[in-house]
Structure formats: structure tokens, C-alpha cells
Chains A and B, each alone.
Chain A
């Protein structure tokens, strides 16, 4: 389903087999004084250890390969299917396989389903990635400021987060898109706007636990400014759980976008998988393949993202992975 607070599954994966402290605990910063000059070093060392762990995980690798194929398909769409996917190219309602020219059939107006699928991948991935980028930026800034400075500012920001978490996200999304024009940019911003609170909460928790560490003290002692401490010193060390969350967020952004365009609230000039399902719904009784094919595409994409998320989680939190 589209609207969901995605933190639970991340927490379920991360902290389920381990007390929550496992992720909230900062990464090992062994040489604290040295870490000031190279705060990124622990992370880099961690990444070097995490990559092989990720590659050894078959499920995660499959997920990553599927994703790579999807991105490739999205990039190749203009070459493989240079015509507008909304063009009418053949007889309407051809079943998949009925005509070699249209391996996935045509819809009720004679549009090529395969072309729609490829171009839809572009739109769907674009919307999901940009929306996630927006909510990451918002969530990291709000979470970092709240967690780093604390005090009254923190109280206010936490209230803001709570307000956004109380309003049912998908209903808010519908309202936001309905009152503005159904344009791609609006949809991207709206999805970003409803999904940042989970990032903010995670980043805030990380910052709160990291801010009293020695390397931050040392950075303070050296007279670094707040901005430098937040972005160069603490943020790199707070990133691993955020990276795990990111893949899950892209997945849920895809679900939100497809539900939105399924309802007919998407951009009417862009083909997305959700709008293809919505269009196919009217012919459900006779031509159910029209809804089934783009839906399968969504399932495969989201599944791949979740596999990658799980793999990243295991790779970046080795203690949990060892227990499995």
C-alpha cells in the first residue's frame, strides 16, 4: 500500500533480531583524536567491509541486478521505442503474443503496452528517485538541526514532525496533488513532503547519540563551525541507517506514485505504470492483462528495492547479519 510509515520495516529488519541499540550505536571510531581530521575514515573503512558482505548476499545481488536492468530499460526507452507511447500504433486489444510486433499486446486504444512499460519505467523511477531526494534533504536538515542543537528548537521541530505523522499521509498526498495542477513536479514535491518525517526522526536519533562522542568534542575543541561539524563530522557517521532507509523509501514512493496515478490524479501527459493499470481497469473483465503487466512491473521493482534494502542492512549492520 502506498501510504505507510516505512520506519517500522526498517526497524523490524534492523533491530528485530537485536536490541535497537545495535543501529543507534555509532560506528566504531577507534582512534578518536585521529578521527577529527578524517571523520569520513571510519565510514570508508566500513564501506570497504560492507561491499563484499553485500556482494556475498545472493538475494541482494539479484535485487541490485534487477534494478540495474530497470534503470537500463528506462534509459534505453527513447531508443527502443522512439515514438510517443501515447501514440496509437495497432489494432486495439491485441493479447500479448498475438502479434509479433507487439509482444505485450495493445490497449483499448491500440497503444503498445511494451512501449508504455519502458517509458513508464522512466517516469516511475524519475518520480520515485526525485521525491526521495527531496524528502532526504528535508529530513536530514530537520533531523540534523533538531538532534544537534536540541533545546527549544528541537521541541518545535519534533512537534512539526508529529503533526505530519498524525495526518494520514496518503490522504494528504491526494489533497496536495488535487489542489495543485497534476504535474510531475507537483507530484514529486508532494510525495517528498509526506515522506520526510521518517528520515527526520531517524537522523535526529542518530545525531542525538553521536553529538556527545569524543570526535565531535574534539572537532568542537578545534573551533570548527556548527555547519562543518554537522555535515563533515557527524553526518558521514550517521549515514548507514539512512542509506538503508533510502532504498525502502524509493520503494514506497513508487507505490505512492502508482496509487496516485491509478486514481487518475497523475500527470495526464506522462505514462506511468499506475496510470496504465488505471486505464486497464475499465477492461478488467475482458482484457485483464492490461492491468496485470504494469502491476507485475511495479511488484518486481519494489521487490528488488526491498531486497537491496535488506542486503544493505545486513552489510552495514554486521552484528545482525551474523546471527541470521
Chain B
């Protein structure tokens, strides 16, 4: 973890130009003195080692420093955007898992017949489509041509909604971005579920369940699918980093006010503290989620704990 931190820090130090340059450029004119004052204000004139030490010192106090560009603490900035990104990711993950597992289950039950083949091709197609492009095409179809759904943002600005209407509004806004983020993973989970179910189907306990006279549907859902979820959950945990990366692009397409767009804005503004904070936080998120997935698996499959 510390290694990631220090690595990140030095990576960003290598960047040409700093936030003072960008701020000065945006102001239109800046004297040498104001530049120096700006640099001093944000501690940009210290040596690399001093900056690193200051950064680590702040980190111990749960502070990620101050963003020179937005002129507010990075933690506040991230905290403001994080819920939006988490919501988008969770909805996308939910959609991906639901659709993916359902498709995979259908494919596995009809293996070798035409629905399986057609769905396999569709899954491969989903796997090959860039998410941002799907996003754009969905906007064209649903907001430009049909006018059913909004094309960007997280809520309708300036509208006076009752609680129920506000929820509907949120759902309408999240639908398209979540779908474009999820599509790629639908394909992965469908193939994973199909493969896992085929493997499990040939095992002894399934034969026993069938011999007991359980209906094929019950065997498929209670015995095969339940066990097939195991590899899918592992993968879902691993994909979190991917979801975050995808969120950057999808959030840009839909001007969704989340972490990903913040990262993009930070890159454009050479705002190192914000970038560092986001990289750090997302790495931390991956670690935490993987730990959570381990726990979840122990719960799903008690044998893992015994091992």
C-alpha cells in the first residue's frame, strides 16, 4: 500500500508544469511574483522530498491535502463526488450480474442448441463494444430520437420534485450510464456463468439431486446455479478496478458528476493532489472490496474457510 503511494507520488512529480501554471494561464496574465506567491501558498515550491513527507504526514491525519484548482480540501472534493460514482457502479454491477447470470443460465441449460449459439454471439458482441460508444448511441436513440430519457447529469437541475418524483428522476438519469457501463460485464458474467454451470452440472451431487426426483428447474437453480455463482463473485470483485476505469469514460459521456469526471478534470487542470487522492482511494476501494469478496465467499461456500 505504501509502495503504491510513493510510486504514485513520484509518478505525478514527473509531470511537466504544475497547477500554478494552469491557474496563471487561465487568469490570462500573471507576474513572476504572483506565480511565486501561488506556489508558496500551495507548497509547490518545496523540494520533492519535503512535499512527499508533508503528503504522508497529512495522510496520517486523514487529509489528502488541498486542491489548488478547486481551492478546497481533496477529501471534501472526493467525498462530494464519491456517492454518485458508487451509486453508478453499484447499479451497473447489479445490472451486469443480473443480466449476465440470467443469460449464462439460459445458455447453459440450452447448451449446443440455437438459443445458446445466438446468445454466445450476442455476448461476444457486448464484449467487443466500447462502453463510451454504446453510451453515445444510447443517447442518440433514447434522448435525441425518442426523447424518453435525459442525456446527461445526475438530477434535473432546478426542478421542484416531491420525494417520489425525485426518485423517478434519479432512476431516469442513471439508467443509460449504468447500462453502458454494464454491457461489457454482462458478456463476461454470462460466459463465466455458462462455463461454471456446465462444469458443475456433471458433478455427483447434481446427479444425486436429480435422482432424488427434483424437478430440472429446481436442480438448475438450487444446486447448479448457486454453486456457479462462486467464480462469478470472485470475478466481480476483481472487476471493480475496471468499473472505476470505465466510470471515467462513461461519466464524461453523460456528464455524470462523479469521481471519474473529477479525475478527468484533475488531469486537465494538472491538479496532482486530487489525482493522487483518486488513485489512492480507488486502490483502497479495490483492496477493501476484495477482502469483502473473500468474506462473501466463505459465507457462500463454507469449505473455503476450512481450507
Interface residues of A (CB under 8 A from B): 1-5, 8-9, 12-13, 15-19, 163, 165-176, 178-181, 251, 255, 258-259, 262-263, 265, 274, 277, 281, 284-285, 288, 291-292, 295, 298-299, 302-303, 305-307, 310, 324
Contacts and interface: CB of A to CB of B under 8 A. Distances in A.
Contact of B199 (A16, A265, A274, A284): A16
B198 A168 contact: no
Query: Most chain-A CB neighbours within 10 Å: which of B133, B140, B195?
Result: B133
B132 A277 contact: yes
Nearest to A181: B16
A298 B140 contact: no
Interface of B: 3-4, 7-8, 11-12, 14-16, 112, 124-125, 127-133, 136-137, 139-140, 144, 181, 184-185, 187-188, 191-192, 194-196, 198-199, 235, 238-242, 244-246, 248-249, 252-253, 263-264, 267, 275, 278-279, 282-283, 286-287
Given A4-B239, A277-B133, A307 B124 contact: yes
B188 A8 contact: yes
Nearest to B236: A8
Contact of A284 (B112, B136, B267): B136
- Identify the 5 closest CB pairs spanning chains A and B, nearest first: A16-B195, A170-B245, A3-B245, A179-B15, A168-B241
A175 B130 contact: no
A310 B130 contact: no
Nearest to A292: B137
A171 B240 CA distance: 12
Contacts of B241: 3, 5, 165-169
Contacts, number: 183
B270 to A, nearest CB: 8
Contact of B286 (A19, A168, A284): A168
Contacts of B127: 9, 302, 306
A310 B128 CA distance: 13
A288 B143 CA distance: 12
A165 B239 CA distance: 10
Contacts of A305: 128
B215 to A, nearest CB: 25
A313 B238 CA distance: 23
Nearest to B13: A179
Contacts of A168: 240-242, 244-245, 279, 282-283, 286
B202 to A, nearest CB: 10
B15 to A, nearest CB: 4
Contact of B248 (A174, A284, A285, A306): A174
Given A167-B279, A288-B137, 10 more contacts: A4-B184, A13-B195, A167-B283, A168-B286, A179-B14, A277-B132, A277-B133, A284-B136, A298-B129, A302-B130
Given A12-B188, A16-B191, A306-B124, A259 B132 contact: yes
A2 B130 contact: yes
A262 B249 CA distance: 8
Contacts of B4: 163, 166-167
A17 B198 contact: yes
A12 B191 contact: yes
A6 to B, nearest CB: 10
A59 to B, nearest CB: 8
A16 B249 contact: no
A8 B128 contact: no
A16 B128 CA distance: 20
A192 B192 CA distance: 26
Contacts of B139: 284
B144 A285 contact: yes
B64 to A, nearest CB: 16
B97 to A, nearest CB: 14
A1 to B, nearest CB: 4
Contacts of A167: 4, 8, 241, 279, 282-283, 286
B131 A1 contact: yes
Nearest to A262: B132
A1 B246 contact: yes
A15 B195 contact: yes
